[in-house]
Amino acid sequence: MSELTSNRLMLERAHVRAGEAIEARFLVEHEGFTLDLDLTLPGRGVTAIFGHSGSGKTTLLRCLAGLARPRAGRLAVNGEVWLDTGCNTFLPTHKRPLGYVFQEASLFAHLNVKKNLRFGLDRVKASERRVDLSQAAELLGIEHLLDRMPGGLSGGERQRVGIARALLTSPRLLLLDEPLASLDQKRKLEILPYLERLHDELDIPVLYVSHAPEEVARLADHLVLLEGGRALASGPIADTLARLDLPLAIADDASVVFEGIVDGYDSAYGLLTLALPGSRAKLAVVHTPMAAGKTMRVAVKARDVSLITGSPEHARSSVLNVLPATVVGIAQDANPSQAVVRLDVDGSPLLARVTRYSMDRLSIVEGMRLWAQVKAVSLLA
């Protein structure tokens, strides 16, 4: 391991609180594939496991759940040791306090929604229950479905019931294996707000497997990027998405995350004003009303960011968001006619995809001060 890589891993792990961590070291060997990971993940919030098909995402989850037994490894969840091959410790799946939601909800077809939920609840002693049925139903917005049979539910409704059932086992770890993969875009947009509520309202660490960057940007606090059974990166979502040495930053759908505080709302135009941390800059976002002071996350796609030099003060433009920025890095895009520029907006990273022609015309170089423009209608909030 190089000194640079070692230092980066030390910095990444510094973001994980002592005593609130998931230690996951696994060595799994199959014919033609090896999973070799040594991860220290946050013991709270949402960690996204991202990678292309065959990168090891599901194998990692199976190790966490005890469905696969690694040749060597250790797993400790917030201080509780579930696996340690050095001490011959292996907690079987049925004894691990976890919830597991697959791509398909796999509800019991002969039981109504309420009885499906009770199946999860009844697996836990009353004295150890941390989530009750009414709380789970309200959190996932399924109170009106309790008497319905699974055959009469939409795909999004079935997944919400499946997640609620997993929560009712009062897990100390929740595993979500591409829960939106089988849904169309309409159903995905239906269920995402409920997943955000899990993030905001429950103190249960979630590992969320996905190959969809927009889901990762919207939900995750921490990101693990897998490739060929190994971790290319593991770190806070905002910094990791913007790293030019990773394939995510030069992908066609590359994006970053801004997290700010709601500063106001213009009801006449349906625009929220979002104050960015440590900056005088603000973002205008097309959104429904939110109370001032609320925290809000916004995903910004690199292809929706344009760059200008000189002062924009007197320019008339339909673009509402104009942010002062400094160029901190430049990478060649997968398309040879384009480049990806990493910017710093008062401490918040931002990516812009521009043509090489524009790079030369504007003489863009590292260290340069300029302005980044982002259309309010392109922000994903």
DSSP letter string over 195-237?
HHHHHHH----EEEEES-HHHHHHH-SEEEEEETTEEEEEEEH
What's the pLDDT at 3?
39
Q: Classify strands 21-30 and 173-177 as parallel, antiparallel or unpaired.
A: unpaired
Q: Amino acid identity of 213?
A: P
Indicate whether 313 pLDDT > 90.
Answer: no
Confidence bin at 4 (pLDDT 50/70/90):
very low
Q: Could you report the per-residue pLDDT of 122-142, keeping only the tens digit for each?
A: 888 888 788 889 888 998 999
- With a pLDDT cut of 70, the percent of the chain lying above it is 94
Indicate whether 7 pLDDT > 60.
Answer: no
The residue with tokens 């997944």 is 159
- Tell me the fold of 255-378: OB fold (Dihydrolipoamide Acetyltransferase, E2P) (2.40.50)
What's the pLDDT at 121?
85
In this prediction, residues 169-179 reach a mean pLDDT of: 90
- With a pLDDT cut of 90, the percent of the chain lying above it is 57
What's the pLDDT at 19?
58
Indicate whether 116 pLDDT > 60.
Answer: yes
- Domain ranges (residues) in the chain: 3-250, 255-378
What's the pLDDT at 9?
44
Q: Is 190 helix (H, G, I), strand (E, B) or coil?
A: helix
User: What tokens appear for 194 in the block?
Assistant: 């409920």
Task: List all residues 6 or more positions away from 88 whose beta carbon is below 8 Å from its beta carbon.
Answer: none
Q: Mean pLDDT over all residues of the chain?
A: 88
The DSSP element (H or E) to which 187 belongs, if any, is helix 185-201
Q: Hey, which bits of 78-154 come out as E strands?
A: 80-84, 89-90, 98-101
Q: Measured at the alpha carbon of residue 50, what is the angle toward residues 375 and 39, in degrees to the nearest 5?
A: 125
Q: Hey, which bits of the chain come out as E strands?
A: 21-30, 33-42, 46-50, 72-77, 80-84, 89-90, 98-101, 173-177, 206-210, 222-227, 230-236, 255-266, 271-275, 282-286, 295-301, 305-308, 321-332, 338-345, 348-355, 369-374
Cα distance between residue 286 and residue 131, in whole Å: 34
**Selecting from 3.40.640.10, 3.40.50.300, 3.30.465.10, 2.120.10.90, what CATH number does the domain 3-250 have?**
3.40.50.300
What's the pLDDT at 127?
80
The answer to whether 219 and 199 have CB atoms below 8 angstroms apart is yes
What's the pLDDT at 27?
96
What's the pLDDT at 225?
94
Judge if 3-250 and 255-378 fold alike in CATH terms: no
Indicate whether 311 pLDDT > 80.
Answer: no
Output DSSP code: residue 32: T
User: What tokens appear for 135 in the block?
Assistant: 């709380």
Rounded (10°) CA dihedral 117, 122, 128, 133: 30
Confidence bin at 314 (pLDDT 50/70/90):
low
What's the pLDDT at 379?
80
Cα distance between residue 136 and residue 270, in whole Å: 32
In this prediction, residues 256-260 reach a mean pLDDT of: 90
Indicate whether 195 pLDDT > 50.
Answer: yes
| pTM for the structure as a whole | 0.84
Confidence bin at 175 (pLDDT 50/70/90):
very high
Indicate whether 5 pLDDT > 60.
Answer: no
In this prediction, residues 339-355 reach a mean pLDDT of: 94
Q: Could you report the per-residue pLDDT of 151-167, keeping only the tens digit for each?
A: 999 888 999 999 999 99
Q: Classify strands 46-50 and 89-90 as parallel, antiparallel or unpaired.
A: unpaired
Residue from 362, 340, 360, 361 nearest 352 by CA = 340
Cα distance between residue 88 and residue 73, in whole Å: 10
Q: Could you report the per-residue pLDDT of 201-256, keeping only the tens digit for each?
A: 878 899 999 878 778 888 899 999 999 999 999 999 999 999 999 988 888 888 89
